[in-house]
């Protein structure tokens, strides 16, 4: 479930090319739509999931309400997302380094809804019951600083696009700040913890 955009169908085309269309997958369908205005009638599904999506939605409350609408009675809605609110994203070290340089760290459109408390409030406001939430701690690991740097500077997502547009001198300074900031293990690896927030709830049967 993603808001419409000029390139919003690219992941769908990629997914359809990779999906093994056999067995239970033979009935799977991919459809581009707007998370805030789903193109499905009421009571259409048993399960609705937003995986690493809700922070990109301009109006998260509207998107969660849409999940509630298209679920049938007793249906389950779930989501998980990096906890940007509490620096839980794998790109948090990059954001910290940019702020240390006096730059504004790029964020997704709705980082305020990524904490456990915020997700629970969204689910409750939409009308879900039996709400459960949990934090998921993830060990992030790179073989060395170079691998970490290459991962952080891929020109995708809010951070990657900003970095791609940085002047060479600023980019070199950012790398230097990160090199000083990151603590390496004895064998040169970069390791740190990221955290995702997960929530689920049921529509009253």
Neighbours of 145 (CB within 10 A): 16
**Residue 1: band (very low, low, confident or very high) from pLDDT cuts 50, 70, 90:** very low
Q: Which of 7-11, 35-39, 125-129 has the lowest mean pLDDT?
A: 7-11
What percent of the chain shows pLDDT beyond 70?
A: 88
- The strand pair at 190-202 and 71-82 is best described as antiparallel
Q: What tokens does 137 get? A: 């701690």
Residue with token string 């599904």 = 45
Residues 148-202 have pLDDT tens digits of 999 998 888 778 888 888 999 999 999 999 999 999 999 999 999 999 999 999 9
Length, in residues, of the chain: 205
Residues 52-67 have pLDDT tens digits of 999 999 999 999 999 9
CA distances from 107 to 91, 152, 165 (A): 10, 14, 16
């Amino acid at each position: 479930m993603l808001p419409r955009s000029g390139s919003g169908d690219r992941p769908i085309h990629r997914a359809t090319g990779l999906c093994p269309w056999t067995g239970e997958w033979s009935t799977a369908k991919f459809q581009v739509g707007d998370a805030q205005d789903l193109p499905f009638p009421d009571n259409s599904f048993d399960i609705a999931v937003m995986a690493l999506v809700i922070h990109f939605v301009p109006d998260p409350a509207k998107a969660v309400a849409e999940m509630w609408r298209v679920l049938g009675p007793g249906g389950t809605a779930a989501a998980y997302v990096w906890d940007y609110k509490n620096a839980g994203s794998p790109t948090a070290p990059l954001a910290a380094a940019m702020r240390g340089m006096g730059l504004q760290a790029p964020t997704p459109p709705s980082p305020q809804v990524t904490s456990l408390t915020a997700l629970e409030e969204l689910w409750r406001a939409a009308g879900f019951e039996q709400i459960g939430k949990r934090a998921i701690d993830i060990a992030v690991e790179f073989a060395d600083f170079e691998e970490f740097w290459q991962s952080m500077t891929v020109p995708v997502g809010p951070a990657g696009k900003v970095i791609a547009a940085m002047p060479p001198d600023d980019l070199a300074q950012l790398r230097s700040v990160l090199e000083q900031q990151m603590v390496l293990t004895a064998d040169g690896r970069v390791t740190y913890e990221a955290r995702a927030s997960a929530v689920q709830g049921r529509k009253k049967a």
